[in-house]
Amino acid sequence: MKMIKDKIAKLSFVGVLVGVTAAMFYAPTAAAHGEKSQAAFMRMRTIHWYDLNWSKDTVAVNDTMTVTGKFHVFKGWPETVDLPESSFLNIGTPGPVFIRAGSWIGGQLVPRSCSLELGETYEFKVLLKARRPGDWHVHSMMNVKGGGPIIGPGKWVTITGSMKDFKNPITTLTGVTVDLENYNIDNIYFWHAFWYAIGLAWMVYWMRKPIFIPRLIAVEAGKADTLITPTDKKVGIAFAVGTMAIVAATMASTNAAYPITTPLQAGLLRGMKPIEMPAPTVAVKVDDATYRVPGRAMQMTLTVTNNGDSAVRLGEFNTAGVRFLDPAVHEDETGYPDDLLAEEGLTVSDNSPLAPGQTRTYQVTASDAAWEVYRLADLIYDPDSRFAGLLFFTDESGNRQMVTVDAPLIPSFI
Partner 1 sequence: MSASQSAVRSRAEAVKVSRTFDWLICFTLFFVVLGGYHVHFMLVAGDWDFWVDWKDRRLWVTVLPIMAITFPAAVQAVLWWRYRIAFGATLCVMGLLFGEWVNRYFNFWGWTYFPINFVFPSQLIPGAIVLDVILMMSGSMQLTAVLGGLAFGLLFYPSNWPVIAPLHQPVEYNGMVMTLADLTGYHYIRTGMPEYIRMVEKGTLRTFGKDVAPVSAFFSGFVSIIVYVLWHFFGRWFGSTAFTTAS
Touching partner 1, residues 59-88 (CB under 8 A):
86-88
CA distance 342 to 332: 10
Instruction: Indicate the SS3 state at residue 23.
Output: helix
Among 9, 176, 283, 369, binds partner 1 (CB under 8 A): 176
Among 183, 292, 296, 386, binds partner 1 (CB under 8 A): 183
CA distance 182 to 289: 56
Confirm or reject binding of residue 397 to partner 1 (CB under 8 A): no
CA distance 9 to 258: 67
By beta-carbon proximity to partner 1, the closer residue of 103 and 299 is 103
Confirm or reject binding of residue 181 to partner 1 (CB under 8 A): yes
- Name the segment binding partner 1 (CB under 8 A); options: 61-69, 154-162, 188-196, 305-313: 188-196
Among 111, 119, 169, 411, binds partner 1 (CB under 8 A): 111
Confirm or reject binding of residue 284 to partner 1 (CB under 8 A): no
Contacts of residue 316, defined as CB under 8 A and 6 or more positions apart, other chains included, come to 323, 324, 325, 326, 329, 330, 346, 390, 391, 392
The edge-to-edge listing of strands for the beta sheet with 410-412 is 346-348, 359-367, 297-306, 282-292, 410-412
- Smallest gap from Cβ 111 to partner 1, in A, equals 5
By beta-carbon proximity to partner 1, the closer residue of 215 and 400 is 215
CA distance 375 to 37: 7
Helix, strand, coil shares of the chain, percent, nearest 5, are 25, 35, 40
By beta-carbon proximity to partner 1, the closer residue of 39 and 388 is 39
User: Restricting to residues 206-265, which ones interact with partner 1 according to CB under 8 A?
Assistant: 206-207, 210-216, 218-219, 224, 227-228, 232-233, 236-237, 239-240, 243-244, 246-248, 250-251, 253-255, 257-258, 260-265
CA distance 149 to 347: 32
223: nearest Cα among 231, 233, 214, 236: 214
By beta-carbon proximity to partner 1, the closer residue of 268 and 283 is 268
Find how far residue 391's CA is from the centre of its chain.
25
User: Restricting to residues 16-55, which ones interact with partner 1 according to CB under 8 A?
Assistant: 33
Beta 64-73 vs 47-54: how paired, if at all? antiparallel
Residues touching partner 1, count (CB under 8 A): 95
142: nearest Cα among 83, 55, 101, 76: 83
By beta-carbon proximity to partner 1, the closer residue of 7 and 192 is 192
Instruction: Indicate the SS3 state at residue 390.
Output: strand
- Smallest gap from Cβ 390 to partner 1, in A, equals 25
> Are the C-beta atoms of 395 and 311 separated by less than 8 Å?
yes
- Name the segment binding partner 1 (CB under 8 A); options: 153-161, 201-209, 313-321, 367-375: 201-209
By beta-carbon proximity to partner 1, the closer residue of 250 and 303 is 250
Instruction: Indicate the SS3 state at residue 39.
Output: coil
- Name the segment binding partner 1 (CB under 8 A); options: 72-80, 190-198, 276-284, 397-405: 190-198
- Name the segment binding partner 1 (CB under 8 A); options: 204-212, 300-308, 317-325, 350-358: 204-212
Confirm or reject binding of residue 188 to partner 1 (CB under 8 A): yes
User: Restricting to residues 134-173, which ones interact with partner 1 according to CB under 8 A?
Assistant: 141, 143, 145, 149, 163, 168, 170-173
By beta-carbon proximity to partner 1, the closer residue of 265 and 352 is 265
- Smallest gap from Cβ 117 to partner 1, in A, equals 17
CA distance 240 to 237: 5
Confirm or reject binding of residue 307 to partner 1 (CB under 8 A): no
